[in-house]
Amino acid sequence: MTNTNKSSQGRGPSRRRTRSWSRMAINLSGVAVFAVYYRMTGSITAATWALVIASAAAVGVGLLVERKIAWLPLFLGLVPTLTGILSLFFDDSGILKGAMTATHMLLGTLMLGGLALGANPLKKIFGGSVDLPDGAWWQLALRFGLFALVIVLGNEIIRHTQSNAVWVAFKFPGVPIMYALFLFTQWSCLRGYPTGADSKRRG
Report d(CA 176, CA 104) in Å as an integer.
13
Least confident of 51-55, 90-94, 129-133, 184-188: 129-133
Report d(CA 99, CA 65) in Å as an integer.
26
Q: How far is CA 141 from CA 42, 68, 95, 153, 158, in A?
A: 38, 24, 28, 19, 26
Cβ atoms of 93 and 164 within 8 Å: the answer is yes
- Average pLDDT rounded to a whole number, residues 72-98: 87
pTM of the model: 0.78
- Average pLDDT rounded to a whole number, residues 95-123: 94
Cβ atoms of 23 and 73 within 8 Å: the answer is yes
φ/ψ (deg, to 5) at 127: -60, -25
Confidence of residue 131 (pLDDT cuts 50, 70, 90): confident
The amino acid occupying position 170 is: F
Instruction: Indicate if the pLDDT at residue 202 is higher than 50.
Output: no
Q: Domain ranges in the chain?
A: 1-90, 92-203
